[in-house]
Each structure stands twice: as C-alpha cells, then as structure tokens.
Amino acid sequence: MAARGVLIFLVLYFTLNLIQAKDKKTKPNVIVILSDDHGYRDVGYHGSLFDTPVLDQLAGEGVKLENYYVQPVCSPTRSQLMTGRYQTRYGLQHAVLDPLAPACLPTDEMTLAQKMKEAGYSTHMIGKWHLGFFEEACLPTNRGFDTFLGLLLGGGFHFSHSFPSAAYYDMHRNRSPAKELNGTYSTHVFTNEAIDIINNQDEDTPFFMYLSYQAPHAPLEVPEEYKDPYRGIFQDEDRLTYAAMVSCLDEGIGQVVQALKNKGTYDNTVIIFSSDNGGSIQDAGNNWPLRGFKLSMFEGGMRALGFVHSPILSEKVKGTVSNELYHISDWYPTIIEGIARSSTRGSKSPLDGKNQWRSIRDGTCSQRHEILHNIDPLWVVPGGRDWVNAMSPFNVSINAAIRFGDWKLVTGDNGRTGWYAPPDTNIVSISGPPTTDQRAWLFNIKDDPLEMNDLSEERPRVLKFLLQRIQKYYEQSTPVFYPDAQPQLADPCSNGNECVWGPWTPM
C-alpha cells in the first residue's frame, strides 16, 4: 500500500508540473511601451503630418483606445501603472519626484513587475524609471525587475545621458553605470536592448517588458538623418526636431516588433502602447483639438495616445476604435489577471484599476465608470464663486479633477487654458475664457470632448454630486509626501557616487 501511495504521489506530482509547465509556456508575453511627453495630436492616425507608419499600423490592426486617460505629469502616471492604485493612496499626488529629495514609490507598494514574477514571467525594465532612487530599495531591480537598462531621473540629454550637465551621468545597467553608452542616442539604446532581450529569451518562459522610451521629452535632440524628411514641412526648428524624435521612436518600435516575429513569439505577445501625459506645448508637443497641455487637468493634459495590438485579440475587435472608459491604473489588474491569468492577491488595497482584458479583447463594456484624476492640496488657486463655495463640501481652490460617467469636474483652475493649434497647419489657436473668480468647471465629455461649454450653472445638482465624490476621495487620501530637497547629500559629484546619479542615503 505504501509503494502504491508513493506511486500515486509521483504521478500527481509530475502531472501537476507538466500542467504548470504547459501553462507557463502558453502565457502571452506582454510589452508595455510608454512614450514620454508625446502629444495627443502627434501621431499620424490623429491627423498629424508626422511620419509614424509603425504606430499607425499597430493601432490600425489592434484596438485604438480613444477614451483612455493617464495622469497630467510623469511620475504619477508611472506609479499608477506599477501599482494599479491612485497616487492619492500613497502621497505622490503633487508634481514629479525630485532627484534631490528622499522620496520614491513607497517600497511597501506591490509592483506590477513583482506580480508578474510571481506569475512565472521574466521581467525587464528598459528606459526611463522616474519613480525615485534615493535608497537601494527604490531601484527597479529591487522592485521586481530581473534586468534594468535606463535612466533613473525624469529626463536628460539623449546622447550624453547626463543631467543637468555632462558631469552628472545617468544611464545604468542594473546597479552599475553603463558609461559605454555615452554618445549613443537613447531611443537606439533602448530599442537595441529590447531586441537583445527578445533574441535571448528562454522560449519556455514568458516575459514582461516595460519599454519606457525617453522620447520625445525635452531636451529636443535626435540624429540629423531623422530631421531630413521634415525640412520642407516644418519651419519651426523645435517642432521639426520633435517630429524627428517621434519618427525615430516609431522606427524603434517597428524594429522591436520585427524581432518578435523573427524569434517566433509575436503571435503570443500583447503590445500595449501609451503616452505618459499630454504633450508640452513649450517643448513643441501638441494636443489639438483637446484643451490644454501637460500638467493641466483639462483633456489635453491627460487624455492619452493608447492602443493594444496582438494576434490573440478577438477578430471582431481588430481594427476597431474603442470609446470605452479606460485608465492607466487598469493595466495592473488587466495584465496580471486578464493576460497572465494570475492573481492580484497580496497587492495593497484598495486597487483602483479594473481588469479590462475582456473588454479590450472581446469588445465588451468597460468595467470602469469613474476616474479620480487627482487631488493636489499643495496646488491651490484661491477664489471661487460665492454660491459654489457655500454649497460645496470640497475646497474648490484645490487643483483636482474627477470623471463620473460622461461628466467631468475640474477645480482649482482659473479656466484660462486654451486650445493650441499645431504650428504646422493653418488652424488658429483659441484663447481660454477671460480671467474670472470661477474655480469649479463642469463638462459633459461625451457631448463636449473639447471642454468648451461649462455647465456648472446649468447643472448644479451634478456639480454638487461630483464635489461630494471628490471630497470623499480627499478624506480617504494619504497626506502629500513631498520632502525638501537635500542637494548636498544627493549631489552625485559630492556624495561618493563619482558623478553618477544613484542611491545616496546610507545603507
């Protein structure tokens, strides 16, 4: 009987292992591609003169997400991608992370990379991190990524990989400075790394890749050959360079897709593309016809370029446009639960992201009807109409925004933001309203996606409902964590880091 029991145990053990091995091999690979300060207008399929054949084709053969939102600035978008949680849950609701301040994505937050490792994936981070690095625990390879090649700061020079001057280096392979890459253009660096990982990937192990390009974020730099096709099109040199940066980015993404096909893994890979926030009009980006720009709570600051491309999408959704409501935080449960067929158990609660895989893959309704865009109590614009202040449970001087169904509320804004036309067209920009003491704005985004018609006076009950909703989120939020800069400790040229940006607090 004992021998029979051992035999049964061995049969069950090996059967289970075979099942797990088969499941591991058939799990789809996932590549999340993030572009940086990429304007809503600045892609071919949104009417731009930019040459983006790869993005146009991938989006055209996949599902274009045209009601998809990120955060209006960099670090919060990336933190929500990594955690599936609003930044108000962990104190990152003000601005971006300062490299000179002792702050990072809180280390008790479970990251997408950690959960994908648990699901049996190899995990790779390439490109811009911008989630803090003041201590070792903050680094990508300590947040779930097996490998990392990229920059830790929020930006820098694309050839020298330095900031704010050539003396301060910021390109790393895992924990070590990758000084051999000095002089190689960042988009090429990141594309080549992605191709190398794909080429050397164990075919029996699925991979998760976070490919976070630095382009087309300022400073505006690109190899000269990418500018040549645009010299007869753009008169403005910054806009020309920006367009060339987007074309180089487009080319790189095409090379990554071709590497997947050459390796034989394309058919079992999901590609998710997203911009991280609206384009910066000061740095040649454009979000026409949307109102606003990077940093703004209007649509131009946070309605993002986005699409999903994969052979495993349902045939009925390939080549379609989705107007369902999606948010950057949704990728966390969508990738873990929907694509990787794993569990988000162990993640911090509450999760604000929704598993949207069935909605995207099969064209069903979104699981989301509400988005807290942000509440930043450190960004205050004093004022407000007496009747709104009297009825509002929320301080409308605080910069904040919330979406509920088709309705959107913006507070803490004087409303002067306008609509900025692409400089390469005959379209004329539209100025925002004249200065008033109004601080709360209400729009029906479905009927008025350009936010031209404030309905706060016409629909006071809707206004009050959204003010109550945002006050509830405010009461649940964690206080802002935005510590003072410590330049003497953090300066890599004076803290023993040999002028290489990196952790600067004692072990």
**Residue 6 falls inside a structural domain:** no
Contact 220, 284 (CB under 8 A): yes
Same domain flag for 318 and 395: no
Question: Which pLDDT does position 26 carry in this prediction?
Answer: 86
Same domain, 142 and 263: yes
Question: What is the rounded CA–CA span in Å between residue 102 and residue 97?
Answer: 9
Report whether pLDDT(1) > 60. Answer: no
Contact 356, 388 (CB under 8 A): no
CATH of the domain at 393: 3.30.1120.10
| Average of per-residue pLDDT across 253-267 | 98
Q: Are both 235 and 187 inside the same structural domain?
A: yes
| DSSP track, 246-275 | HHHHHHHHHHHHHHHHHHT-GGGEEEEEEE
In a shared domain, residues 219 and 74: yes
Question: Which residue type does 487 have?
Answer: P
Q: What is the pLDDT of residues 13-69, one digit of tens each?
A: 554 444 444 455 689 999 999 999 999 999 999 999 999 999 999 999 999 999 999
Phi, psi for 379 (deg, rounded to 5): -110, 100
| Secondary structure of residue 408 in the 3-state scheme | strand
- Strands 398-404, 370-380: pairing is antiparallel
- Mean pLDDT, range 147-152, rounded to an integer: 98
**Residue 65 exposure: Cα atoms within 13 Å on the Cβ side:** 27
- Selecting among 124, 130, 158, 161, the annotated active-site residue is 130
Separation of alpha carbons 67 and 69, rounded Å: 7
d(CA 113, CA 135): 19
Q: Is 73's pLDDT higher than 50?
A: yes
Residue 486 maps to a domain: no
Mean pLDDT, the chain, rounded, equals: 95
With a pLDDT cut of 70, the percent of the chain lying above it is 95
Give the separation between CA 479 and CA 499, rounded to whole angstroms.
33
Lowest mean pLDDT among 80-84, 399-403, 419-423, 502-506: 502-506
Active-site residue 130, yes or no? yes
Based on the fold, state whether residues 304 and 443 are members of the same structural domain: no
Residue 486 CB-density burial (10 A; 0-12 exposed, 13-18 middle, 19+ buried): middle
Q: How confident is the model at residue 244 (pLDDT cuts 50, 70, 90)?
A: very high
Burial of 215 (0-12, 13-18, 19+ CB in 10 A): buried
* Cα–Cα distance measured from residue 353 to residue 373, given in angstroms and rounded to the nearest whole number: 13
CATH number at residue 293: 3.40.720.10
pLDDT of residue 24: 55
Do residue 116 and residue 209 come from a single domain? yes
Give me the number of domains the chain comprises: 2
The domain boundary, picked from 338, 362, 386, lies at 362
User: Same domain, yes or no, for 338 and 465?
Assistant: no
Does residue 337 share a domain with residue 206?
A: yes
Q: Which amino acid is at 33?
A: I
Tell me if 132 is assigned to some domain.
yes
Residues 343 and 389 in one domain: no
Q: What is the domain extent for residue 180?
A: 27-362
**Of these residues, 38, 74, 161, 327, which one is catalytic?**
74
Residue 18 maps to a domain: no
Neighbours of 120 (CB within 10 A): 16
Please report whether residue 127 resides in a domain: yes
Confirm whether 491 is domain-assigned: no
Whether residues 133 and 241 share a domain: the answer is yes
Q: Judge whether 99 lies within some domain.
A: yes
Give pLDDT tens digits for 429-471: 999 988 889 999 999 999 999 999 999 999 999 999 999 999 9
Q: How far is CA 33 from the centre of its chain?
A: 9
Which pLDDT score is estimated for 424? 81
**161 an active-site residue?**
no
pTM equals: 0.95
- Domain match, 168 and 255 both: yes
